Structure 1
Amino acid sequence: MKNQNMKLFIKYFALFFTVFTLLFFAVGLITEGTSKNMTFLMMGIDSKSFAESKGVRSDTIMLFNVDRGTGEISILSIPRDTRTPIEGRKNKEKINHSFAYGGPELTVKTVENLLGIDIDHYVVVDYQVVSEYVDLIGGVRFNVPMDMSYSDPVADPPLKIDLKAGEQILDGDKALQYLRYRKGYKNADLGRIEAQQSFLKELIAQSAKPGIVLKIPGLYGIYNSGVNTDIPLTKLALYGISIFKYDLSNLISETLPGSPKTIDGISYYIHSEEKTAEIIQSMIETNNQ
């Protein structure tokens, strides 16, 4: 019985650090002395479950990089409309199509080719995970930048957004509304990316408290239903405790540089290869020397 209880404890402990992009895992690995950097690709999908996610395009793509020497955490958001080659496809397509064609593995390969880097791990998160997690921690205090109103009853799941501007505590449902809103930003998808980055920073900052450990048992169901990753749970349990040694409120966030362009009647995002190389050099390669 003792062994069984210990296994459950380790499992719950590990699962805790997989919640929402596994940033907690990334920070834990800072203390590992093998290589200076660790990268993982987070993909957000808007699906009821992973069982129903076949053929679904990723709605959010973020590359996380952790400098294990300094503890610095960088996030590079990649617009889902980024036009790029996808293995097995004849012509360049939007990068989020890669998830529909080959799941997270193909998306990782596509991003690696786009950026010219190697990615250590991937994490796929259903948006519903965020909703459930926000409720579990008692909400997130956040300043909604503008009134948000939109509805789409035929969306899967149905979409109804009704948020007022101003600082407030967002529960899980309102947090999900905020993340799914995309129609009112002046600079279209880039504005939505900035909004997601702002919320992510607040969520992480308000989550990185020792008291959250008390909620570990409640995270088990959330993990099972909405997180898919290739990161071994043994590593999570081994390194996760280091999270409380670092300040997670100071995150560096960037967006893949480029601009929108319509090609053959289709809206794409065309990235700047030169500026992208500069960001990768600063964000990953320099810190990995």
Structure 2
Amino acid sequence: MTNFRMGPRKKKTSKKRLFLRVFLILIVLMVASTGAYAYWLTKKAEEAANNAYDKDNTRIKSELRETQVEPMTDNVSILFIGIDDSEKREQGSNHSRSDALLLATLNNKTKSVKLLSIPRDSYAYIPYVGYQDKITHAHAFGGTNATIDTVENMLNVPVDYYYRLNFDAFIEIVDALDGVQADVPYALHELDENDKRTVNLKPGLQTLNGREALALARTRKQDSDIKRGERQQMILEAILKKASSVTSFTKYDDLLAAVGNNMKTNMTFNEMKSFFEYIKGGMPNVESLALKGDDDMSTGIYYYKLNETELVNTQNTLRKQLGLTDSDPSNAQDSTADTNSSGGSGGSGYKSNYNSDNKSQ
């Protein structure tokens, strides 16, 4: 009787052990595959970072810094430069205007970000040519470094890092994340990346693909440069939020490919890894800022003239975020200079080909 009773128990126990072994093997395989995927992502990220790294740019640090910053421990700033280097423009990446300028200042202690949108028609002194003009023209005059010098001169803060990306990079990044959520303020019938009016959007909160997000970021026909900047900030925050979510982990390979193919930066892979601290707990605290000013058509050319008092206030907000002392109001840029001497040939003898553009795309 004993042998008869023990037989089924051994069989049942054997099945249970087999199930446990299979379960444990699956767990081990899942952990191993996740680790392997993470390792593969790291290698792919390094490859993408190396492709994006601007080897031709010799700018080691900002002239407003005594020493080169360490993003792991220091407060730093990042300038995002969006350019339109489409074939239709026939200007190339180094001679295109900057279509979007956003400066992010990151505080290492609070892990917070202050994000400033700079209107493309802001009237600013451009050191590269030695006179004042629309800030969008700085990149057309002297590329990335001319833009950085202009932003530093205008805001009195160092620009430590930059990301220069074209329309293709923007579209691919959004598409790699399966779109981003944005609140479309009004019905939109807008140009796409090829300047064809093929993007049609209805107002309201919705998920946008790359082409649609780009059109929303670029349009300014129905409102203003300030509202345009607010939309760009909203979309960039939506990208950060989506990229920092757990659900985007499996999309990082496409995201990295987009970054490496259509972007240039002075940030190394090791420096990039330092910024993971800002998003490892999810979306960081981002505060959006705006430059206040007035529309000016007194010369027949549209400029956005910055309010000097408000400019100093913005400078001090950014400097405090970076742990720097307040600006001296007397150092604020002089945007009241004679337009006739700054909008034409200028003191440098450089002939501007861009002053005929009005408030156009």
TM-score, structure 2 length as denominator? 0.67
Assess if the C-alpha contact under 8 Å between 1:12 and 1:216 holds in 2. Answer: no
TM alignment of 1:215-230, pairs within 5 A: 215-230=251-266
Residue number among 83, 97, 118 corresponding to 1:45 in the alignment: 83
CA distance in 2, matches of 1:90, 1:209: 45
Residue number among 272, 275, 278 corresponding to 2:310 in the alignment: 275
Residue number among 209, 233, 238 corresponding to 1:202 in the alignment: 238
The 3 A distance-change label for structure 1 pair 130 and 271 is same
CA distance in 1, matches of 2:306, 2:43: 41
**Structure 1 residue 13 and structure 2 residue 51: aligned?**
no
Alignment length, in residue pairs? 268
3-state SS, counterpart of residue 85 of structure 1? strand
CA distance in 1, matches of 2:248, 2:135: 35
TM alignment of 1:50-89, pairs within 5 A: 52-89=92-129
Residue 141 of structure 2 corresponds to: 101
The 3 A distance-change label for structure 1 pair 66 and 151 is closer
Which structure's residues are more often strand, by fraction?
1
Give the Å deviation of 1:98: 0.6
CA distance in 2, matches of 1:88, 1:243: 34
Residue 228 of structure 2 corresponds to: 192
Cα deviation 1:12-46 (Å, max 9, x = unaligned): 2347789xxxxxxxxxx99722x3x2101111112
Amino acid across the alignment from 2:310: K
The 3 A distance-change label for structure 1 pair 104 and 81 is same
**Structure 1 residue 284 and structure 2 residue 322: aligned?**
no
Higher alpha-carbon Rg = 2
The 3 A distance-change label for structure 1 pair 103 and 16 is same
CA distance in 1, matches of 2:216, 2:306: 26
Amino acid across the alignment from 1:44: G
Structure 1: stretches of 5+ with no match in the other structure: 19-28
3-state SS, counterpart of residue 285 of structure 2? coil
Assess if the C-alpha contact under 8 Å between 2:85 and 2:92 holds in 1. Answer: yes
CA distance in 1, matches of 2:79, 2:322: 18
Residue number among 163, 180, 183 corresponding to 1:143 in the alignment: 183
Structure 2: stretches of 5+ with no match in the other structure: 1-36, 51-68, 325-361
Assess if the C-alpha contact under 8 Å between 1:161 and 1:181 holds in 2. Answer: no
Query: Once superposed, what is the RMSD of the aligned Cα atoms?
Result: 2.9
Residue number among 213, 218, 232 corresponding to 1:180 in the alignment: 218
TM alignment of 1:212-251, pairs within 5 A: 212-237=248-273, 239-248=274-283, 250-251=285-286
Give the Å deviation of 1:83: 0.9
CA distance in 2, matches of 1:157, 1:150: 9
Assess if the C-alpha contact under 8 Å between 1:48 and 1:128 holds in 2. Answer: no
The 3 A distance-change label for structure 1 pair 51 and 226 is farther
Assess if the C-alpha contact under 8 Å between 1:61 and 1:78 holds in 2. Answer: yes
Residue 163 of structure 1 corresponds to: 201
Which structure would you say has the larger RCO, counting Cα contacts within 8 Å and 6 or more residues apart?
1
The 3 A distance-change label for structure 1 pair 223 and 68 is same
Residue number among 292, 296, 304 corresponding to 1:261 in the alignment: 296
Amino acid across the alignment from 2:122: T
Give the Å deviation of 1:284: 2.2
Assess if the C-alpha contact under 8 Å between 2:95 and 2:139 holds in 1. Answer: yes
Cα deviation 1:213-256 (Å, max 9, x = unaligned): 3223223431232211111122223x244244344253101111
Amino acid across the alignment from 1:250: N
Amino acid across the alignment from 1:285: K
TM alignment of 1:15-34, pairs within 5 A: 32-33=72-73
Assess if the C-alpha contact under 8 Å between 2:245 and 2:282 holds in 1. Answer: no
3-state SS, counterpart of residue 80 of structure 1? coil
